[in-house]
Each structure stands twice: as C-alpha cells, then as structure tokens.
C-alpha cells in the first residue's frame, strides 16, 4: 500500500468509493427524518443537538475514509474487504439513529461507529508498514483513531450527567487526531480527487434534502389539495435546492486545494468547515418538511419558529459555502459583504408569509452575483 501520486492526471472516484457514498445515504436519510420528527413534536433544541451529534459521526467517518483513500488505494482484496466492513458499520450506525433521537441511547450508533473507525485504523497500520517515508504519520493516525474508539466505548459506561461533557471531549479528541498526525508529514492526497469527493457528498445531502421535502409537500397536497402557502413552499424549496447547488459549485475547489490550501492553516478549516455545509443542507429538507406540517396540520409552533426551521439551515449553508469556497477568490469589500448581508436577509425571512420562497430568491440572487463576478 504505497502512497498514490498526488499529481496523477484524470484521478476520479472509484466504483468502491461511489458504493461507499451510496450506503452512507441511508444514515443521512435517517438523520434527516429523525430531525423532522423532533421538530414536529415540538422539541427543537434537543432534536438539533442530537442531530448535530449523529451527523458528526456520519460526516467524520465519511471524511476520514475519503482522505485516506485519496492517499492510499491499492484496490486489492484486503482493501476492498476493509471498505465493505466500514460500509457495514455505516448501516449499523444508521440503524441506531432512531434510538438516539427518541431515547438518547447511543449504544447502536457507537457500535456502528467503532466498527467503521477500527477498520480504518487497521488500514492506517497497513499503510505504515508499506510506506516507510510516511510511517510516523500513519502510526499516529492508527493510534489516535484506536484510542478515540476506546473513549467512545467507555463513554457508554459513564453516568447520564457526564454524558454531554464526555461527548464534547471525544469530539475534540477526534478532531485533533488528523492535525496531530499530519504535523509529522502530509499524506499524498490528491486535490482534484478530494474536491470531487466533497462535491459528490454535497450532491448526496442536497438530494436527500429534496427527497425529504418532496415527500412532505406531496403528503400535504394530498391532505389539502393545494393552498397558496403550500405552492409557495414547493416553489421556494425547489429554488433553494437549485441555488444551493449553484453556489457550492460556483468556483472550483480543486484550485484552492492545489495551491493555497496545501497549508494546514487553510486546508483544515476547509475540510472541517464542510461539516456545516453538509449538515445544513441535510437539515434543510427536515425544515421544509416541518413547515409543510405547520401549514397543513397547524402544529403548536409559531409561524416564525416554523419559518426558522427553513431559514436557519439556509443561512448557515450560505455563510459556510461563502467562507470555505467563495471568499478566498474574492478581492473587493463589496463582494465580501454580499453573502453575510444575504444571510441576514434569509434569517429575516422567518417572519414572512413565505419563508422558503423569500429565502430561495435571496439565495438565487447571491448565486447570480457570484456567477456574474466569476465570468
């Protein structure tokens, strides 16, 4: 398992990587559906916190494998079997999402997560044996990942009162492992390949958002045969999905990764910042579905609170995409002010009669300006 050529031409995702992504769709869908259920029952704070934790495990497992496979991918039988084992862990994790949301029980999620991460630690050990130049980095990754898994298992044994502080400690520990490991030397990851992989996962979460919203809006139309607010919600949700896609792919990420983001101080904020990109896009579908419930079932949430389920994820997506993808390309102060101002406008749309439509128009306007400036 020697390191791959980081300048390899025409490097693309492999069928195994695409299969890996496809199976992660199950976990993403479970997280979105459970967040929708939490919003519907009127417990948004607990639901958002549990969503943030569950989605962290999904995103972190996906991201760590993605960066590993960009640097080391022999595509032999042992490698394929280890990836299939990680896929099995992702499906176990997905099976535990409902229990995590409904009762705060993290046992099944932890089991799936540990299977995922332990299989990756074994791959890092294999890389350490085969790549003496980067052995120190690979050993640090393997030991750091393994120690974190022991921590997650131990967390199941602590009292409930210590669970939240323990989770925060474990998340910080997980985030620290790549920083510590790559301080000993950078792995031979491929800028174009990483940009494509992140773009594909963006398509996954946007697609899940569209699917969740479509199912909810269709059910609402079946119950009420169409009303003005429902038509506005459907049109706004579609416009938001189009604009979010356009904004994310407005500027090429591989150009940043191949130049300025070779530096740790820029690469890690880009890589870690995508947690908010992916999570907000996933949460958008749950928010649109929750607003459909509000329109047709007259839930206990106020109109502003129901609108915020749409506008907050949209504003987070807009600000994060601007920060990690667009801002490094921008030079003038006017360009840098546009997206924060648009995000404030999106949040203000919570108090309008059609928050999805207003948010969609603002996101589309930002996409138009970003595209025009690029051309």
Each residue's pLDDT tens digit, 11-35? 889 999 999 999 999 999 999 888 8
pLDDT of residue 333: 75
Task: Determine the longest span between alpha carbons in the chain, in angstroms.
Answer: 66
pLDDT in tens, 65-79: 999 999 998 989 999
Q: Say how far apart CA 140 and CA 126 lie, in whole Å.
A: 13
Among 67-71, 126-130, 239-243, 295-299, name the one with the lowest average pLDDT: 295-299
Residue 328 pLDDT? 83
Q: What angle do CA 176, 178, 181 make, to 5 degrees?
A: 105
Q: Quick one: pLDDT band at residue 373, thresholds 50, 70, 90?
A: low
Report the C-alpha gap between 257 and 220 in whole angstroms.
43
| Confidence band of 229 (pLDDT split at 50, 70, 90) | confident
Q: Write down the H helix ranges in the chain.
A: 15-40, 44-71, 77-95, 97-103, 107-130, 135-155, 163-182, 191-224, 228-248, 253-258, 264-297, 303-321, 333-348, 355-374
Q: What is the pLDDT of residue 65?
A: 95
CA-CA distance, 278 to 356, in Å (whole number)?
19
Buried b (16+ CB within 10 A) or exposed e, 332-341: eeebeebbee
Give me the chain's average pLDDT, please. 89
Tokens of 4: 């791959």
For the stretch 141-152, pLDDT in tens is: 999 999 999 999
What is the CB-side half-sphere exposure of residue 171 using CA atoms within 13 A?
Answer: 16
Rounded CA gap, 295 and 307, in Å?
11
What integer pLDDT is reported at residue 105 of this predicted model? Answer: 84
Residues 197-216: tens digit of each pLDDT: 999 999 999 998 888 888 87
Choose from 276-280, 288-292, 353-357 the range with maximum mean pLDDT: 276-280
> Looking at per-residue confidence, does 332 or 36 come out higher?
36
pLDDT band at 298 (very low <50, low <70, confident <90, very high): low
297, pLDDT greater than 80: no
Map residue 331 onto helix, strand or coil. Answer: coil
What is the pLDDT, as a whole number, of residue 225? 60
Rounded distance between C-alpha atoms, residue 167 and residue 266, angstroms: 26
Query: Rounded to an integer, what distance in angstroms lies between the CA atom of residue 362 and that of residue 359?
Result: 5
Residues 156/213, Cβ–Cβ less than 8 Å:
no
CA distance 200 to 321: 15
pLDDT for 226: 61
308: pLDDT confidence band, cut at 50, 70 and 90?
very high
Q: Look up residue 300 and give its DSSP letter.
A: S
Percent of the chain with pLDDT over 70: 97
């Amino acid at each position: 398992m020697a390191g791959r050529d980081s300048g390899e031409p025409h490097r693309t995702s492999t069928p195994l990587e695409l299969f890996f992504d496809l199976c992660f769709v199950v976990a993403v869908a479970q997280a979105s559906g459970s967040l929708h259920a939490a919003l519907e029952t009127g417990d948004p704070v607990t639901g958002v916190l549990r969503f943030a934790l569950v989605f962290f495990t999904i995103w972190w497992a996906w991201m760590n494998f993605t960066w590993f496979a960009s640097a080391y991918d022999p595509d032999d039988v042992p490698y394929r079997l280890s990836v299939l084992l990680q896929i099995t862990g992702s499906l176990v994790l997905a099976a535990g999402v409902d229990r995590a949301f409904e009762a705060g029980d993290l046992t099944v999620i932890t089991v799936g997560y540990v299977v995922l991460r332990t299989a990756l630690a074994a791959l890092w050990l294999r890389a350490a044996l085969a790549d003496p130049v980067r052995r120190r980095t690979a050993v640090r990754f393997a030991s750091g990942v393994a120690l974190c898994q022991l921590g997650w298992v131990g967390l199941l044994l602590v009292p409930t009162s210590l669970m939240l502080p323990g989770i925060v400690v474990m998340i910080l520990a997980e985030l620290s492992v790549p920083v510590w490991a790559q301080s000993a030397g950078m792995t031979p990851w491929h800028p174009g390949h990483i940009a494509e992989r992140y773009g594909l996962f963006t398509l996954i979460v946007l697609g899940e958002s569209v699917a969740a919203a479509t199912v909810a809006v269709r059910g609402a139309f079946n119950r009420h045969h169409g009303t003005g607010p429902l038509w506005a919600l459907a049109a706004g949700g579609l416009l938001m999905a189009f604009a979010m896609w356009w904004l994310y792919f407005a500027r090429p990420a591989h150009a940043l990764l191949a130049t300025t983001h070779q530096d740790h101080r820029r690469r890690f904020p880009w890589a870690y910042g995508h947690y908010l990109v992916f999570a907000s896009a996933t949460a958008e579908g749950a928010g649109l579905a929750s607003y459909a419930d509000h329109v047709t079932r007259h839930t206990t949430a106020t109109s502003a609170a129901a609108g915020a389920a749409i506008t907050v994820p949209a504003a987070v997506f807009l600000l994060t995409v601007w920060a990690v993808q667009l801002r490094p390309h921008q030079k003038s102060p006017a360009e840098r002010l546009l997206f924060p101002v648009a995000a404030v406008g999106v949040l203000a749309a919570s108090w309008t009669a059609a928050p999805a439509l207003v948010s969609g128009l603002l996101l589309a306007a930002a996409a138009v300006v970003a595209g025009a400036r690029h051309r």
